[in-house]
Each structure stands twice: as C-alpha cells, then as structure tokens.
Amino acid sequence: AQRVTQPEKLLSVFKGAPVELKCNYSYSGSPELFWYVQYSRQRLQLLLRHISRESIKGFTADLNKGETSFHLKKPFAQEEDSAMYYCAPVNYQLIWGAGTKLIIKP
Amino acid sequence: NAGVTQTPKFRILKIGQSMTLQCTQDMNHNYMYWYRQDPGMGLKLIYYSVGAGITDKGEVPNGYNVSRSTTEDFPLRLELAAPSQTSVYFCASSNQDSPRGYGYTFGSGTRLTVV
C-alpha cells in the first residue's frame, strides 16, 4: 500500500534544542504531503503544506525525493511546540503516518 | 464560520448498542471524511464522500455506515457496537481542489468508549 511512515512514536528534546520529526513515504507517483499538529485537547490543524515551502511557527519541511522523506525541522524548540505531529498524504485514500508525540522539556 | 462541527464530544456505549455520530460543515465543501484514531496509531479512513448522495468505503469500514443526503451533513452510524470500536472519531472536510492547497478541516472529535 502507498503510505507515509513516521518512525518515532515519541521524541523528547530540551527547550532551545533543534527538533527533527521524521517522515518517510512510499509512493508510486509524485507525493504531495502535509504536516498536521494536534495540541492537547484541540483538533488537528494544518501546519505545513509541502507545495508552499512556507515556515510556520518556525517549522520547515523539505520534500527530498531522493530519500523519499519530508522531515519537519525547527532550529530552536519551544515549550509550546509540545504536541502530536502527523505527516499526512494529500490523497485521502492513502495511509497517514502514526504520529510522533513531541515533548519539549524546560 | 463554525467549520466542522461534531457531536457528541464523548459517549459511552454498551456492547450491542447503536448510535450516530453527527458531523456538519458550513464551508460548502464537497468532500467529507470519517477517520478513527486509536491510541498510538495514525488516522484510519472509515468512509468518505465526494458529494451529496455519493459515499465510499475507506480502509476500515466494517461495523459502520454513512449517508450523505446534503452537502453539509455526513453522519456516521455504528450498529451493534463492539469494544474494538472504542476510539476517537474525527470528521473532516475539504474542497475537491483544496487538499493540495489547504488540506482538510477537522472537527474536534468524538471520544467513544464501548463497554
């Protein structure tokens, strides 16, 4: 099946440290991917769209077709970044990543 | 704009009972989806709809039914609830073209426990 994989269920880093949330994909065609974030007790929200190459809340993500990856990065983590992060395919028929719980320690 | 509204937020069902999870969107989106989120797992697509009167199965449709009589509403029906259906359910919507641009708009979720 064509799917997105997030290898880390939990990632814990100290405030101010760099963060990288991994996402790998297996597609037969051209991938189109998002990053979604779910803060505690809130609904899923769109964080990044790979086509826009934008930076939201200091996060960036680059689509690396050679490594089939779309890792989410932030140079300096903040406590409010603690949340669940999902790498998601644009095509709803494809399988989402299982999510990575990011914990920022003070 | 309310976006996507789901009710109820919480529900406890006994095995064998039935219920309907309601989902309404006011953005005139033609695509709507139902996902379940199990602990430690990603979202799994239950059913989706590409417009009023059109529905189709997703990855995990067994034990569920849907209908789409209007653009706004996409209820999810659980018949004969089982403990395996204990999960958090999310409804989402999108425009046909917006998944590429703007992604999905999610509801706040329904936490269902079957005992």
Encode pLDDT of B6-65 as tens digits.
Answer: 999 999 999 999 999 999 999 999 899 999 998 777 788 899 998 999 999 988 999 999
Task: Mutate one of B10, B88, B104 to test the A interface: name it (highest A CB count within 10 A).
Answer: B104
Q: Distance between CA B110 and CA B115 in Å, rounded?
A: 16
For A19-56, the pLDDT digits (tens) are: 999 999 887 666 678 899 989 878 888 888 776 667 78
Strands lying side by side in the sheet with A83-89: A10-14, A100-105, A83-89, A33-38, A45-49
Sign of torsion over alpha carbons B1, B3, B9, B15: positive
d(CA B1, CA B94): 15
Say how far apart CA B87 and CA B112 lie, in whole Å: 6
DSSP letter for B98, please: H
Best residue of A8, A43, A93 to probe chain B, by most B CBs closer than 10 Å:
A43
CA distance A67 to B107: 33
